[in-house]
Amino acid sequence: MNYSALVLDIEGTVCPISFVKDTLFPYFVNKVPTVVNDIDQQNDTVKQILCQFKIDDKNELINHILGLVSNDIKDPILKQLQGYIWAEGYNSSEIKAPVYKDAIDLINRHNNVYIYSSGSVKAQKLLFGHVADTSDSTKSIDMQSQINGYFDINTSGAKIDSQSYINILKDIKMIDTPEKVLFLSDNPSELEAAKKAGLATGLAIREGNAVVPNVNDYTCYHDFTKLL
């Protein structure tokens, strides 16, 4: 079936689920000591973010930040700092997003693609602005112009809430024809929520993804080569 719009999850769907854990988090953790110890050499943006922690001792501040990461604490100040450091990594080409080739091809050949991720819209744009070139690993490509819109939990709501998908349908002007919108994700709970909102759904099966019980209940995609 040809769908009028595609809404794509990121981790486990268009790029490996391990990307955040194995690339972004270690990059951030490795940069924190230098950023904190050299705070006097940092720009005003970084200084302002670090000051929000209200911890003057540098070693204590480093340990506090790394503790938030290791305990997966959703701290808003931490998120700001991560966003800034990751942006620096992308812009310096130290970080490139390993988007699957079949996902790149799908986005390039479909003219109405949207992204919906629990990561912030800013983080989503950084990722698609620095996609690893599958033909030359030393280069990255900017795919932002191929994405029609970005949604996150702040703009649209939780991904396991059907109302979030209704909100997206309204935003993309597809509220009257939800069956023509395909949502792709590796998370069955998200797919169930989207299905309740009337969207067509597809389960992404990728290496490293969690095994899904009752997998036969879903339309499964091991790759997107034939999907329009």
In a domain, 226, yes or no: no
Encoded amino acid at 223, one letter: D
Q: Are residues 217 and 131 in the same domain?
A: yes
Choose the final residue of a domain: 70, 91, 112. 91
Residue 121 and residue 79 in one domain: no
Q: Does residue 199 lie in a domain region?
A: yes
Verify that 112 and 209 share a domain, yes or no: yes
Q: SS3 for 20? A: helix
Binding residue positions = 9, 11, 117-118, 159, 186
Could you list the residue range(s) of the whole structural domain that residue 104 is in? 5-16+98-221
Q: What is the DSSP letter of 110?
A: -
Whether 81 maps to a domain, the answer reads yes
Residue in the structure block whose two tokens are 């689920």:
17
Provide the token pair at 4.
Answer: 């009028």
pLDDT of the residue at 99: 97
**12, 23, 67 from 161: Cα distances, Å:** 19, 29, 30
Residues 129 and 206 in one domain: yes
Whether 135 and 37 share a structural domain? no
Of the three residues 57, 91, 125, the one that is the final residue of a domain is 91
Pair 59, 146 in one domain: no
Binding site for substrate: residue ranges? 117-118, 159
pLDDT at 160 over 90: yes
Please determine, for residue 154, whether its predicted confidence score (pLDDT) is greater than 90: no
pLDDT band at 13 (very low <50, low <70, confident <90, very high): very high
Annotated binding site for Mg(2+): 9, 11, 186
CA distance 171 to 166: 9
Asked whether residue 44 is assigned to any structural domain, the reply reads yes
Q: Are 69 and 78 in contact (CB under 8 A)?
A: yes
Residue 180 and residue 121 in one domain? yes
Residue at which a domain ends, from 91, 106, 137: 91
In a domain, 114, yes or no: yes
Segment 82-111 shows an average pLDDT of: 94
d(CA 113, CA 146): 7
Distance CA 101, CA 132 (A): 10
Predicted confidence band at 134 (pLDDT cuts at 50, 70, 90)? Answer: confident
Listed in order, strand segments (DSSP E) in 79-195 are: 113-116, 131-132, 140-141, 149-151, 181-185
Type of residue numbered 134:
T
My answer on whether 40 and 125 are in the same domain is no
Distance CA 96, CA 105 (A): 17
**CATH classification at residue 214:** 3.40.50.1000
SS3 39: helix
Instruction: Please report, for the domain that includes residue 42, its CATH number.
Output: 1.10.720.60
Burial of 164 by CB count in 10 Å (0-12 exposed, 13-18 middle, 19+ buried)?
Answer: buried
Residue 4's SS3 state is coil
Burial class (CB in 10 A: 0-12, 13-18, 19+), 33: middle
User: How many CA atoms are closer than 13 Å to the CA of 218, on its beta-carbon side?
Assistant: 26
**Is the pLDDT confidence value at 228 over 70?**
no
**Number of domain units in the chain:** 2
73 and 106 in one domain? Answer: no
pLDDT tens digits along 54-93: 999 999 999 999 999 999 887 889 988 998 999 999 999 9
Same domain, 188 and 102: yes
User: Domain for residue 187, yes or no?
Assistant: yes
